[in-house]
Amino acid sequence: MMGRVQNGAMFATMNGCEPMLYLTVSGHPGSGTSTLVKGLMNRFDWTSLNGGDVFRAEAKRREMSLTDFGRLCQEELDVDRSLDALLKERMQSESAANIVESRLAGWWAYRLNLPCLRIWLDVDDEERARRVVNREGITVNEALEANALRSKVDGERFMELYGILPEDEEPYTHVISATNLNADEILESVVVLLEANL
């Protein structure tokens, strides 16, 4: 993959074609993935796809509430598999977004051998809880408990479905220790990686 810069924005060419997927962004809830993606979109005028978008679109297609559809996904693992299949399909399409954000996006890009950067934002439990507190207005202890439960439940589900854990370093080209970095510092660190690799 070769890169070029035009009008302050970065583009990549793959086999002489204009770009599709440049990078995946993954991390546990509260790690700052959505903030990073917004910053990259504003900086480079890129498009993005969030795994949650696929979830919401499928719930709407089935005429189900998000809560009911979430319960269905927990009860029927084949529904979860179908959502991941949709995400992988969109990552490989000619109209793929430039950034894909989800906890398993890095794994899928790795397994599909897609030529992109795969970022994991590593943030410790306490800092992630503080960020959730600021966003959702709950106590730190409540956020710690909610984050721990979600990570446990999701981790068990991903292991049962695919034999993987999102935080395993194997699929990632870069793991960023972001506990002590603010949003601007995280963004700039990823921009440096992009400039060096695209």
Between the alpha carbon of residue 93 and those of residues 21, 37, 90, 177, the distances in Å are: 9, 20, 5, 31
* Residue of 161, 173, 154 whose CA lies nearest to 29: 154
Q: Where are the domains of the chain?
A: 2-50+95-197
Domain 2-50+95-197 falls under CATH 3.40.50.300: yes
Q: Do you know the residue count of the chain? A: 198
170-182 confidence digits (pLDDT tens): 999 999 999 999 9
* 149/11: higher pLDDT: 149
* 11/151: higher pLDDT: 151
98-107 confidence digits (pLDDT tens): 999 999 999 9
Distance CA 171, CA 69 (A): 29
Residues of the chain with pLDDT > 90, as a percent, come to: 51
| Single-letter amino acid, residue 109 | A
Distance CA 64, CA 114 (A): 33
**How do beta strands 23-27 and 9-13 pair?**
unpaired
Q: Is residue 63 helix, strand or coil?
A: coil
Please tell me the predicted confidence (pLDDT) of residue 1.
36
Distance CA 25, CA 100 (A): 6
The pTM is what? 0.84
Please tell me the predicted confidence (pLDDT) of residue 169.
95
Which residue carries 């991903």 as its tokens?
158
118-161 confidence digits (pLDDT tens): 999 999 999 988 888 877 788 889 888 888 888 888 888 899 99
| Residues 146 and 28: beta-carbon distance below 8 Å | no
37-61 confidence digits (pLDDT tens): 999 999 999 999 998 888 888 889 9
Query: Residue 162: phi, psi to the nearest 5?
Result: -130, -5
pLDDT averaged over every residue in the chain:
86
Please tell me the predicted confidence (pLDDT) of residue 19.
53
* Residue of 54, 137, 62 whose CA lies nearest to 88: 54
Please tell me the predicted confidence (pLDDT) of residue 98.
94
Can you read off the two tokens belonging to residue 188? 């700039």
Q: Is residue 175 helix, strand or coil?
A: strand
* 19/183: higher pLDDT: 183
Question: For residue 18, is pLDDT > 50?
Answer: yes
| Residues 131 and 193: beta-carbon distance below 8 Å | no
Please tell me the predicted confidence (pLDDT) of residue 11.
43
